[in-house]
Amino acid sequence: MQTKDPKTGTVLLSGGNPQIAKADCDAPVQAYIAAMPGWKSSLGRQLDTLIVATLPDVRKAVRWNSPFYGMGGKGWFLSFHVLTRYVKVTFFDGLSLDPVPPGGTPRSGKARWIDIYENDRLDEATMVQWLRQAAALPGWVP
- The pLDDT, as a whole number, for residue 12 is 84
- Residue-wise pLDDT tens for the chain (142 aa)? 667 766 677 888 888 889 999 999 999 999 999 999 999 999 999 999 999 999 999 999 999 999 999 999 999 999 999 999 999 999 999 999 999 999 998 899 999 999 999 999 999 999 999 999 999 999 999 8
pTM assigned to the model: 0.93
Q: 5 burial class (0-12, 13-18, 19+ CB within 10 angstroms)?
A: middle
Please give the CATH number for the structural domain made up of 3-134: 3.90.1150.200
